[in-house]
Structure 1
Amino acid sequence: MNTFLEFVAGHPTCDLAAGEFVLKQDEPCDALHVMIEGEVEILRDDIRVGKIAEAGAVFGEMSLLLGGPCTASVRTLKPSRFASIPEPRAFLAASPAASLHVAELLAHRIDTLNRYLVDVKHQYEGHDHIGMVDEVLSTLMHRQRKHAKRPPAHS
């Protein structure tokens, strides 16, 4: 059993049929969703950017951490079950292990994106538009959030 599933045991669950949305891009996200079983596709601007069938996968974390609408849509590809955590900030604040799991998930995504962008840069080296990849890599490495909500510091 995925360790993260132990953290969400006891939270409400929902079952969705194939083709239903867990989250929709640009809509509010008020819960953290953890896949217990099933398979989903991740869509950004109606383009599939990923497919996940791993129990313990987390959805909605970016929206919740950034304080904005969903950054992508998540649609089931087959019948799926999810745990829904309605107070995700409180849940993560109360569990360092759960917070670390989400942080590791996000770190893996950033690492994958960085590797992809470096590969693209190598493939298109010498082309005029490759400067865009440099800008994206620089933004990923040094982005300063200007409008994001930050929790108050604790003493």
Structure 2
Amino acid sequence: MREILVHFSDIPLRTLSDGEVLLKEGERTGHLYALASGKLEVLRGETQVAILEEPGSLIGEMAVLLDSAHTATARALGPASVHVVEDGAAFMSAHPELAWLVSRLLARRLNAATTYLADIKRQFAGAGNHLEMVGEVLESLMHQQGLRGGRQASQRDGYRD
């Protein structure tokens, strides 16, 4: 993460107080943040999904890359400071080394999520309950092509149903 933080050295800092919301799930800002110090809690709905405390942790990168609303809420757990980039897409375009680091970070997250889901699928295979839907979630993750044309693109790229 410190490799990421290097790219934000000239970017202004914003100080957050305990409990202050940095960004809200569902809002569309285009902002990209890098944690400089402190802790941030990441929530989807009311569920805590992560605590970020490593300097260089990124916040808002998914919304920037997907050109969408924020997928989670981030709020300070105690005093914190973040570097604030107003136009995250332009910043990422201007810093290809950062884009590469973010790509690797997101690939690790996706790998962890699919590994976890595959483990759950194996554990509950044939259980006859709602956990069988994990297979559908895995299929969706593995074959989702978003802007590339859905099923046709996945077949063109060698993925088959």
TM-score (norm: length of structure 2): 0.85
Gap change, CA 1:147 and 1:70, over 3 Å in 2: farther
SS of match in other structure, 2:14? strand
Cα offset, 1:100, TM superposition: 0.8
Offset at residue 17 of structure 1 (A): 0.8
Range that drifts further, 4-13 or 118-127: 118-127
Question: Residue 49 of structure 1 aligns with which residue?
Answer: 49
Q: CA RMSD in A?
A: 1.8
1:114 equivalent in alignment to 2:123: no
Alignment correspondent of 2:104: 104
Partner of 1:133: 134
The Cα shift of 1:146 comes to 4.4
Aligned partner of 2:141: which letter? L
How far is 1:130 from its partner?
3.7
Within 5 A, what are the aligned runs for 1:20-99? 20-99=20-99
Taking the aligned partners of 2:29 and 2:57, their CA distance within structure 1 comes to: 16
Cα distance in 1 for partners of 2:148, 2:12 equals 32
Shift of 1:104: 1.2
Q: Distance in 1 between matches of 2:106 and 2:134?
A: 20
Partner amino acid, structure 2, of 1:96 = P
- Cross-structure match for 2:5: 5
Stretches of structure 1 that go unaligned for 5 or more consecutive residues are 149-155
Q: Which has the higher strand share?
A: 1
Identity %, equivalent residues: 35
1:99-154, Cα deviation, whole Å (9 max, x unpaired)? 01111111111111112111211221221234311111111111021499xxxxxx
Aligned partners of 1:72 and 1:120: how far apart in 2? Answer: 24
Which structure carries more helix by proportion?
A: 2
Query: What corresponds to 2:146 in structure 1?
Result: 145
Separation in 2, partners of 1:70, 1:11: 21
Gaps of 5+ in 2: 150-161
Secondary structure at the counterpart of residue 78 of structure 1: coil
Q: Give, in whole Å, the separation in 1 of the partners of 2:18 and 2:26.
A: 21
Residue 16 in structure 1 maps to residue 13 in structure 2: no
Q: Distance in 2 between matches of 1:98 and 1:83?
A: 14
What is the distance in 1 between the residues matched to 2:17 and 2:122? 42
What secondary structure does 2:112 align onto? helix
Report how far residue 29 of structure 1 moved.
2.2
How far apart, CA to CA, are the structure 1 residues paired with 2:69 and 2:53? 24
